[in-house]
Amino acid sequence: MPNALGDSENYVMANPMQTPPAIY
């Protein structure tokens, strides 16, 4: 994951209900 923060933020915005544990 080269851009974990960017990816996580985009993922959360796209699917806030389905957030991966990597963010936490």
16-20-23-24 Cα dihedral, nearest 10 degrees: 100
Task: Give me Rg for the CA atoms of the chain.
Answer: 8
Q: Using a cut of 0.85, tell me whether the model's pTM lies above it.
A: no
* pLDDT for the residue numbered 1: 46
Average confidence score pLDDT of the chain: 56
Over residues 1-24, the pLDDT tens digits come to 455 555 555 555 555 566 566 555
- Asked if 13 and 5 count as a contact pair (C-beta separation under 8 A), the reply is no
